[in-house]
């Protein structure tokens, strides 16, 4: 089964900032609610297409945005 | 005992996971299948019953635990076609049809950036739901959700593929001068929108 990477952030402000950083660098993101098997709290996370994942993670590190990388089965 | 955790998975994945799990245990061995979704649970019970796996279920704190016993090798048709058990139940005497209306490109009021994030999350979640709307109507600033190369347009395209009608207000597209940028849905007029709203039992306004 193919998997897609999820990026989780400490709070929604960081989600929005990460999304803006990706957008500025031409990296497409999808916003989805954090899957319930990862957290029961109401939150949003980003999906970045696999081919863009490393450049996205690099960009976030450069901007000092902390995140957790999870994987889920492709829907 | 082997445990198959299907929490958070949507049909037919739990069925396939359960079937594959059963393939890996020996005849007569017990296995547990965990589910957190009413529909998946019902589908799993029918499927496992037809496989001859004698499912016995227990529910605690919203989590179903189904204990099954690996049957003797059978040629059950269910084994090769778990997808057929992905029925979406209709409530007795009721009609599940509903229409989603996006009145702006945001969800709720309070903060515009937050509202934009929420509505993107909503449409990306909606496309994974078992119970889909019959129509999605976008008007006023809501038409911006259909702009090409956005994640909302991609989600709307997937919803269209699942037979959801996506109606985009033509007057609004004209007002925002966005006709060339619309990447999904059918440009629609107010007669179609009014008719759709009049004919549906339930309208969900975002």
* Extents of the domains making up chain B: 2-85, 99-205
Rounded distance, CA B178 to CA B26, Å?
Answer: 61
Bond prior to B12 in cis (omega within 30° of 0): yes
Query: How far does A45 lie from chain B, in Å, by closest CA?
Result: 8
More confident residue, A2 or A40: A2
Nearest neighbour of B10 by CB, restricted to A12, A30, A75? A75
B61 touches chain A (CB under 8 A): no
Q: Tens-of-pLDDT digits for all 206 residues of chain B?
A: 899 999 888 878 889 899 989 889 988 999 999 998 888 888 898 889 888 889 999 988 889 999 999 988 766 777 888 888 876 554 444 567 899 999 999 999 999 999 999 999 999 999 999 899 999 999 999 999 999 999 999 999 999 999 999 999 988 998 999 999 999 999 988 888 888 888 887 999 99
CATH class, domain B2-85, is alpha beta
Chain B residues within 8 A of A47 when measuring between CB atoms: 124
CB contact under 8 A, A33 and B10: no
CB contact under 8 A, B8 and A30: no
Rounded distance, CA A19 to CA A21, Å?
Answer: 5
Nearest neighbour of B7 by CB, restricted to A19, A37, A73? A37
CATH architecture of the domain with range A3-73: 2-Layer Sandwich (3.30)
Rounded distance, CA B57 to CA B66, Å?
Answer: 4
CATH topology of domain B99-205: Hypothetical Protein Ychn; Chain: A, (3.40.1260)
Burial of B99 (0-12, 13-18, 19+ CB in 10 A): buried
Average pLDDT of the residues of chain B: 88
Write down the ipTM of this complex: 0.80
Question: Could you tell me the pTM of the whole model?
Answer: 0.62
Task: Return the pLDDT at B147.
Answer: 95
Q: Determine contact, residues B124/A35, Cβ cutoff 8 Å.
A: no
Task: Return the pLDDT at B94.
Answer: 53
> To the nearest whole percent, how much of chain A has pLDDT over 90?
57
Domain boundaries, chain A: 3-73
């Amino acid at each position: 089964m193919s998997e897609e990477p999820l990026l989780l952030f400490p709070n929604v402000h960081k989600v929005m900032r990460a999304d803006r950083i990706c957008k500025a660098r031409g990296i497409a993101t999808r916003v989805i609610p954090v899957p319930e098997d990862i957290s029961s709290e109401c939150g949003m996370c980003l999906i970045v297409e696999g081919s863009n994942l490393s450049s996205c993670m690099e960009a976030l590190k450069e901007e000092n945005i902390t995140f957790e990388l999870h994987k889920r089965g492709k829907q | 005992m082997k445990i198959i955790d299907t929490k958070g998975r949507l049909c037919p994945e739990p069925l396939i996971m359960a079937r594959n799990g059963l393939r890996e245990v020996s005849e007569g061995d017990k296995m547990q299948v965990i589910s957190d979704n009413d529909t998946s649970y019902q589908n799993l019970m029918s499927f496992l019953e037809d496989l001859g796996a004698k499912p016995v279920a227990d529910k605690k704190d919203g989590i179903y635990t189904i204990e099954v016993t690996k049957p003797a090798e059978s040629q059950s048709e269910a084994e090769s076609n778990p997808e057929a058990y992905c029925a979406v139940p209709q409530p007795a005497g009721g009609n599940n049809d509903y229409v989603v209306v996006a009145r702006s490109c945001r969800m709720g009021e309070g903060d515009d950036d937050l509202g934009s994030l929420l509505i993107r999350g909503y449409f990306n979640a909606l496309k994974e739901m078992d119970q889909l709307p019959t129509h999605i109507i976008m008007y006023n600033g809501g038409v911006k959700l259909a702009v090409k190369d956005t994640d909302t347009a991609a989600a709307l395209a997937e919803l269209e593929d699942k037979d959801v009608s996506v109606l985009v207000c033509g007057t609004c597209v004209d007002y925002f001068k966005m006709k060339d940028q619309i990447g999904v849905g059918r440009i629609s007029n107010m007669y179609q929108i009014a008719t759709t709203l009049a004919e549906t039992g339930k309208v969900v306004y975002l």
